Amino acid sequence: MTYQAPLKDILFNLEHLSQWDKVTALPDYEDITQEDAGAALEALGRFCAEQIAPLAKIGDEAHAQHKDGKVILPQEFHDAYAQFVEMGWQSLVHPADHGGMGLPKVVGGAAAEIVNGADMSFGLCPLLTDGAIEALLLSGSDEQKATYLEPLISGQWTGTMNLTEPQAGSDLGRVRTKAEPNGDGTFAITGTKIFITFGEHDLAENIVHLVLARTPNGPAGPKGLSLYIVPKFMVEADGSLGDRNSVECVSIEDKLGVRASPTAVLQYNAAKGFLIGEENRGLEYMFIMMNAARFSVGVQGVAVSERAYQHALAYAQDRVQSRPVDGSVKDAVAIIHHPDIRRILLKMRAMTEGGRALAMAAAGWLDLAHHTGDQATTYMAEFMVPLVKGFCTEKSLEVTSLGVQCHGGMGFIEETGVAQWYRDARILPIYEGTTAIQANDLLGRKVLRDGGETAQRFSAMVQDTIDALSQGGAQAQVIAKGLAQAKAQFDESLAWLLSNLRENPNFAFAGTVPFLMLTGNLAAGWQMGRAALVAQDKLAAGEDKDFMADKLAMAQFYAQHILVEAATEAARIQSGADAMYEDGLVL
Amino acid sequence: MTYQAPLKDILFNLEHLSQWDKVTALPDYEDITQEDAGAALEALGRFCAEQIAPLAKIGDEAHAQHKDGKVILPQEFHDAYAQFVEMGWQSLVHPADHGGMGLPKVVGGAAAEIVNGADMSFGLCPLLTDGAIEALLLSGSDEQKATYLEPLISGQWTGTMNLTEPQAGSDLGRVRTKAEPNGDGTFAITGTKIFITFGEHDLAENIVHLVLARTPNGPAGPKGLSLYIVPKFMVEADGSLGDRNSVECVSIEDKLGVRASPTAVLQYNAAKGFLIGEENRGLEYMFIMMNAARFSVGVQGVAVSERAYQHALAYAQDRVQSRPVDGSVKDAVAIIHHPDIRRILLKMRAMTEGGRALAMAAAGWLDLAHHTGDQATTYMAEFMVPLVKGFCTEKSLEVTSLGVQCHGGMGFIEETGVAQWYRDARILPIYEGTTAIQANDLLGRKVLRDGGETAQRFSAMVQDTIDALSQGGAQAQVIAKGLAQAKAQFDESLAWLLSNLRENPNFAFAGTVPFLMLTGNLAAGWQMGRAALVAQDKLAAGEDKDFMADKLAMAQFYAQHILVEAATEAARIQSGADAMYEDGLVL
């Protein structure tokens, strides 16, 4: 199945939903034009359609293989990665003074969607490298930056995040990996890390592992964790590669999906490590990096949704079966003409476009936060991250499942290829923090840290859009009504959670995932509402009529099919805990 | 992962929700006691836990293999099937005068849940044989019954349904397979059938294929289809096996799940076939058989949900991670103590118990319909079938997905085994008619054929339960409130659909799947309400307090977490079609 980057919709989002004008008013980005961004994304789209999209099936069938401590990937991955590096795609959003292209995150997020839409297994490698680059930029010493940044940003080396251990998943305080001082400023890292994405491979010359570990005399729990650079090959003073470090890939996992992405068990045997930043602040640095990674995983949700949608759409246009229910044609027609297939496809598309709009808007906030340091902006950006991660990935399960359904029996046959999107997507609500972790982050941190002020500002911005839509045409008014209902449900649920949290934390935390889904849905629906306002104006001006009419209809569909889920989630939040804690309910 | 048949809940449903007294007042079942049924199901549960449950992983890893026209299954499947036959489980619900045990469908449904909970791949073989037996019982000649029924009912032979062809999936009118008269009363069957479950294997001595085909001069489309018996081996006058018939297994499919169940492409080359019943009435016979098969597939949804629930529960009780949010314990605890994991598990359990209750209630209606022939009863039973098939299978996708989520990263690793339930379940909303086909059957046939009368009787019965619950304790009143809301949403949606159907069929049929989900949800919630009434009485009488308190709490949880989805579906039905048919919306 082919893949085409959804450039037109991406560029619409970039122009109208990402706060493009504010982002490109930032000193770092004042030279960037829409044309530059569009040209870069178009070139990337072409490369991904041609070179990366075919990897999806190849990698799914071949899997990453483990042999004698090495990970073997199909030759096609080597060729594609070499081109990816040559074209400089890894460097897209990284600073020019380290060799990067220096584009904003709004462009980076769009690029990440394209790469991961083509193949999530492939996309994971640059995604993790991006995370390592961010961590080094924020917390590395000048020497570390000089040593590692340039080859990472070029893609010549790749990066990993080493957090999880068998007993320490969501609960990183239980990490046991030791970092013992060698006496020369370096540390001997010893322990076992699991679930390390692209933890071993030879697409690149070197791998820069960022490893969470604890010094012998540090505090117990999360406050005793520090972050270390552990390169696969030691780096000499001149930048050339030296000895192999003592970190070994013991095995890789046989997984439900993203099977070409090697998920490694890494054994560190007194491997040489270099402390990043200050001791015992490792978790803090990791969380900075994780915010970026979580955003990117949310984008993967949009990406795999788009892929599944394109696949289902093509099948529905091609497969002929049964006469139409309205009797308009005497013969069997392509199934896209049957109302339920139309509903399925539009639902897939609405969730995909809604997720994309949310991610693009969040990316704009992240750019503004990152470059201004303004607290209110930063809080809003950080409020959005669990929404992008939680909502877009949970929705990707629905979208990819509908993609299978649209294919009927053919969907269940692996050869068809659509089951792969269903399998690949299933990791998204799990890694980089499960949906429950995102939901706890949303309520426990992003809402509570300022007593709900950011959440209320978010709600007020939604209200502004509702007000504008209410002045519009018939479709805009339908959207306004849907948004107003969902916003009221959000406001009530927020108030309920805030008033119950202290007295009865179990009751409140029983509702965090429904609250995340309600808030994510409202946030995406809000962006679709903003898009509808633009589309309405453009239609009135006679610009790009087909696209704008579709956008308006999709926003209306979103309001009438997806936003209406908010009622259910609000009910779950506000009364759902009662039965959960009935006396004597045994599990 | 082990499996235990949920006997206690099954027997509760049998006793209190299946109309047991009415069923066992039927002449055919007047000798059957609860004790008999309980003893049979207990023995089956033990057998399945010990012999069938281990097959799930074995079969998932080995897959069915195809070699030189033969299908190879792991030896363990042969051993288990031989024991299954020896113990007589295939014969459970079939008439005593053909060697069956003669138990009602309410027991048969329970048994099907147990077998498929242990392993769906294994369970598919007897499920299809049951279908073939039903078709022969209803439409076969005396000679055909004498020849085929006894070995099918014993399990010595197995049966298949041959409907689908590459160009004829949901649209069976497009079937091309030919049946040419041989001049001796037999027919030469020629064509290609695909997606034939257990279409080839050697667990049993013979396979009885029921094949939909058309005679050369019959009417075009669905009205020219006839049903034929095509045995794999010809049967001699004395019942012994003769020549191999000319039907060949060309290949089997590589599937997302139920990988040990061979899904065959069968090539019929002038294979000898025997007409069942009258010519051109094949589709009618097939539909009788399909009602039974659709019910059974709904039960598979409950079965795989139960399996996933047991798996997730065991993990959540075992896995220690993070301190509780209420600060009640200083150390990390088993994750079942975290509110969101508790919510996930209860949601899995509520959907499973609700589905089971719905299936058991439907089985009771099917028994009563089958043995009384009363039209109102038959219409009610047939109204329930698409609900069981559609709702329980769609919910099994959610339940098995939550089962993966509950495991965190381990859920994505195939070795853990929980991803298998997610993969296996994915076929359920597709085969034996997709959810859309069920939904069209519900609205287009089961609701419309009597102008909505059966649907309104259903609604009136729900109201009776609401009235009774309203007189009850606090929990009963919460359930009554939830049911009353969902019932109102059902009534409104039904009225909307009936009033729009003729004028604007596309708008109505765009809402059939939401209507199916709303109705199935209400029907399951209604059964949970009936269960709550029983539990309330038993609690007052001090009987079986733990179980009854749990049942009451689960009914409340169902009302507060699952029934509340009805609001969303009602909104989708009543206003969701607008945006779908906006002028110019392009797909």
Please tell me the distance from the alpha carbon of residue A297 to that of residue A355, in angstroms, as a whole number. 12
Q: Under a CB-based contact definition with an 8 Å cutoff, are residues B443 and B508 in contact?
A: yes
Closest approach of chain A CAs to the CA of B556, in angstroms?
6
User: Is A582 noted as a catalytic residue in this protein?
Assistant: no
Q: Do the Cβ atoms of A585 and B505 come within 8 Å?
A: no
Nearest chain B residue to A430 by CA: give it. B408
Q: Do the Cβ atoms of A346 and B426 come within 8 Å?
A: no
Q: Do the Cβ atoms of A322 and B170 come within 8 Å?
A: yes
Nearest chain A residue to B345 by CA: give it. A587
Residue B571: list chain A partners with CB under 8 A: 560, 564, 567
Angle of CA points B539, A572, A523, to nearest 5°:
175
Mutate to test the interface with A, among B500, B546, B560, B573 (most CBs of A within 10 A): B560
Half-sphere exposure of B392 (CA within 13 A, CB side): 32
> Is A170's Cβ below 8 Å from some Cβ in B?
yes
Instruction: Tell me the pairing of strands B206-214 and B187-197.
Output: unpaired
Please tell me the distance from the alpha carbon of residue B427 to that of residue A309, in angstroms, as a whole number. 19
Residue B401: list chain A partners with CB under 8 A: 397, 426
Residue A435: list chain B partners with CB under 8 A: 405
Q: Do the Cβ atoms of B342 and A429 come within 8 Å?
A: no
Residue A322: list chain B partners with CB under 8 A: 170-171, 173
Q: Do the Cβ atoms of B512 and A340 come within 8 Å?
A: yes
Q: Under a CB-based contact definition with an 8 Å cutoff, are residues A65 and A132 in contact?
A: no
Backbone angles phi, psi at B197, to 5 degrees: -70, 130
Q: Do the Cβ atoms of B434 and A401 come within 8 Å?
A: no
| CB-CB neighbours of B320 under 10 Å | 14
Q: Which of B326, B478, B579 faces A556 most closely, judged by CB atoms?
A: B579
What's the pLDDT tens digit per position in A111-157? Answer: 999 999 999 999 999 999 999 999 999 999 999 999 999 999 999 99
Residue A578: list chain B partners with CB under 8 A: 478, 556, 560
Domains along the sequence of chain B with CATH: 7-65+72-153 (1.10.540.10), 157-280 (2.40.110.20), 446-579 (1.20.140)
Residue B167: list chain A partners with CB under 8 A: 320
Please tell me the distance from the alpha carbon of residue A529 to that of residue A484, in angstroms, as a whole number. 11
Q: CA nearest B423: which of B63, B73, B114, B128?
A: B63
DSSP calls for A422-459:
HHHHTTTTTTTS-HHHHHHIIIIIIIGGGTTHHHHHHH
Please tell me the distance from the alpha carbon of residue A341 to that of residue A338, in angstroms, as a whole number. 6
Q: Which of A338, A554, A572 faces B564 most closely, judged by CB atoms?
A: A572
Q: Which residues, in sequence order, are bridge partners of residue A158? A: A207
| CB-CB neighbours of B429 under 10 Å | 28
Residues 248-287 of B with CB under 8 A from A: 253-257
What's the pLDDT tens digit per position in A324-353? Answer: 998 888 999 999 999 999 999 999 999 999
Residues 6 or more apart whose Cβ sits within 8 Å of residue A579: A585, B346, B475, B478, B553, B554, B556, B557, B559, B560, B561
Q: CA nearest A92: which of A122, A76, A113?
A: A113
**pLDDT confidence band for B122 (50 / 70 / 90):** very high
Q: Which of A171, A553, A567 faces B322 most closely, judged by CB atoms?
A: A171
- The one-digit pLDDT tens for each residue of chain A (587 residues) are 799 999 999 999 999 999 999 999 999 999 999 999 999 999 999 999 999 999 999 999 999 999 999 999 999 999 999 999 999 999 999 999 999 999 999 999 999 999 999 999 999 999 999 999 999 999 999 999 999 999 999 999 999 999 999 999 989 999 999 999 999 999 999 999 999 999 999 999 999 999 999 999 999 999 999 999 999 999 999 999 999 999 999 999 999 999 999 999 999 999 999 999 999 999 999 887 888 899 999 999 999 999 999 999 999 999 999 999 988 889 999 999 999 999 999 999 999 999 999 999 999 999 999 999 999 999 999 999 999 999 999 999 999 999 999 999 999 999 999 999 999 999 999 999 999 999 999 999 999 999 999 999 999 999 999 999 999 999 999 999 999 999 999 999 999 999 999 889 999 999 999 999 999 999 999 999 999 999 999 999 999 999 999 999 999 999 999 999 999 999 999 998 988 987 767 77
Nearest chain B residue to A505 by CA: give it. B326
Q: Do the Cβ atoms of A341 and B436 come within 8 Å?
A: yes
Among residues B200, B432, B492, B582, which one is catalytic?
Answer: B432
Q: Do the Cβ atoms of B321 and A195 come within 8 Å?
A: no
Please tell me the distance from the alpha carbon of residue B422 to that of residue A401, in angstroms, as a whole number. 11
> Is B61's Cβ below 8 Å from some Cβ in A?
no
Mutate to test the interface with A, among B57, B300, B341, B412 (most CBs of A within 10 A): B412
ipTM: 0.97
> Is B552's Cβ below 8 Å from some Cβ in A?
yes
What's the pLDDT tens digit per position in A377-413? Answer: 999 999 999 999 999 999 999 999 999 999 999 999 9
Q: Which of B342, B419, B430 faces A412 most closely, judged by CB atoms?
A: B430
Residues 386-445 of B with CB under 8 A from A: 397, 401, 404-405, 408-409, 411-415, 419, 422-423, 426-427, 429-431, 434-436, 439-440
> Is A174's Cβ below 8 Å from some Cβ in B?
yes
Q: What is the pTM of this model?
A: 0.98
**pLDDT confidence band for B584 (50 / 70 / 90):** low
Residue A339: list chain B partners with CB under 8 A: 506-507, 509-510, 512, 577, 580
Among residues A113, A134, A432, A569, which one is catalytic?
Answer: A432
